[in-house]
Structure 1
Amino acid sequence: MAANIVSLSARELADWLADPARPQPLLLDVREGWEFEHCHLPGACHVPMGEVPARLAEIAAAPAVVCICHHGMRSMQVAAYLARQSEGQVFNLRGGVDAWSIEVDAALPRY
């Protein structure tokens, strides 16, 4: 259910990733290949949106998944799907990689 999805700001995700005491999430980038090649968060796993159902077992094995796209819309759709299909915690990066570039790492190219 969508109620199980937590929306994270770029700053909240950055703080989580910087905290060695917290288990690290799977950073699931659901954008197209050319978008991922242009820019992505360090450590992100690239699984285009259309391939998520075929790789569900691999993704669902993670105790926490943060879904990422350009602005947070496609990733929210994937997050809703994962919340229905798995038991793990599901998060969506609000504003996507664009927000990450603005709020956390200006060196990440915007498009």
Structure 2
Amino acid sequence: MDAESLEILPMSPSELKKRLDKGEIECLLDVREDWEHSLSALPDSIHIPLNQLVDRFQELAFEDEIVVYCHFGERSMRAGKILKESGVDTVYNLIGGIDAYSQIADPSIPRYRSQM
């Protein structure tokens, strides 16, 4: 695979909001932990924690385009690499994660603090 075929594309919170409103998002993947997902989540997202992604990839195997998000955008970038290496054509990483999305695109999505 060449570098371009493994590229993860950035998606801004405002771009995601626009595309969600238009129904243009095929698959929205939340890779946060269960406790985080229970506090806030984007509508119609599929929840697969990052540490389960390799084992549960078959749940996403037929998707051509996936937007991945986490709390701040770091775990979703790691998930994006896994997805690209597994053969997903187009993977977007939500810049700044659900935290930025809540602040920029949809304040109705609750914010929370990490338990680190």
Fold agreement, TM-score > 0.5: yes
- Residue 88 of structure 2 is matched in structure 1 by 87
1:31/1:49 contact within 8 Å kept: yes
Shift of 1:61: 1.1
Point out where structure 1 has 5 or more consecutive residues left out of the alignment: none
C-alpha deviation, 1:86, in angstroms: 1.2
More deviation in 84-93 or 37-46? 84-93
Point out the more displaced range, 46-55 or 11-20.
11-20
Contact map agreement 1:101 1:109 (CA 8 A) in 2: yes
**How far 1:18 sits from its partner (Å)?**
1.7
1:42 matches 2:43: yes
What CA deviation, in whole Å up to 9, does each residue of 1:46-77 have, x standing for no partner?
A: 00001100111221311111111000000000
Is this contact kept in 1: 2:61–2:88, CA < 8 A? yes
- Identical aligned pairs, as a percentage? 37
1:41-80 equivalences in 2 (<5 Å): 41-80=42-81
Question: Size of the alignment, in residue pairs?
Answer: 109
Moved over 3 A (4+): none
Query: Is the CA contact (8 Å cut-off) linking 1:60 and 1:82 kept in structure 2?
Result: no
CA distance in 1, matches of 2:67, 2:51: 17
C-alpha distance in 2 between matches for 1:106 and 1:72: 18
User: How has the CA–CA distance of structure 1 residues 85 and 110 changed in structure 2, closer, same or farther, with 3 Å as cutoff?
Assistant: same
Shift of 1:107: 1.5
Q: Distance in 1 between matches of 2:88 and 2:31?
A: 20
2:22 aligned partner: 19
Equivalence for 1:7: 10
